[in-house]
Amino acid sequence: MVRPREFDEEQALDAAMRLFWEKGYEATSLSDLTSRMGIQRPSIYSAFGDKKELFESALRKYTKMHASQIRNKLQHNESVKEAFRSLFTGLVNDEYNQSPNKGCFCINTMVELAPHDEKFEILTREHQMYLSAIFQEALERAIHSGELTTNMNPKALAQTLVVSLIGLTVLLKSRPNRSFVDHSIETILTLLK
Partner DNA sequence: TTAATTTTGTACTGATCAGTATGTTATGTC
Partner DNA sequence: GACATAACATACTGATCAGTACAAAATTAA
Choices 33-41, 69-77, 164-172, 182-190 (CB under 7 A): range interacting with DNA: 33-41
Choices 4-12, 57-65, 83-91, 122-130 (CB under 7 A): range interacting with DNA: 4-12
Q: How far apart are CA 92 and CA 88, in angstroms?
A: 7
Q: What is the DSSP string of 10-44?
A: HHHHHHHHHHHHHH-STT--HHHHHHHHTS-HHHH
Choices 5-13, 81-89, 140-148, 166-174 (CB under 7 A): range interacting with DNA: 5-13
Pick 61 or 167: Cβ nearer its own copies: 167
Other residues' Cβ atoms within 10 Å of the Cβ of residue 87: 19
Pick 10 or 97: Cβ nearer its own copies: 97
Quick one: CA dihedral 160, 18, 48, 116, positive or negative? positive
Q: Does 110 bind its own copies (CB under 8 A)?
A: yes
With CB under 7 A as the contact rule, the residue among 29, 72, 98, 153 that binds DNA is 29
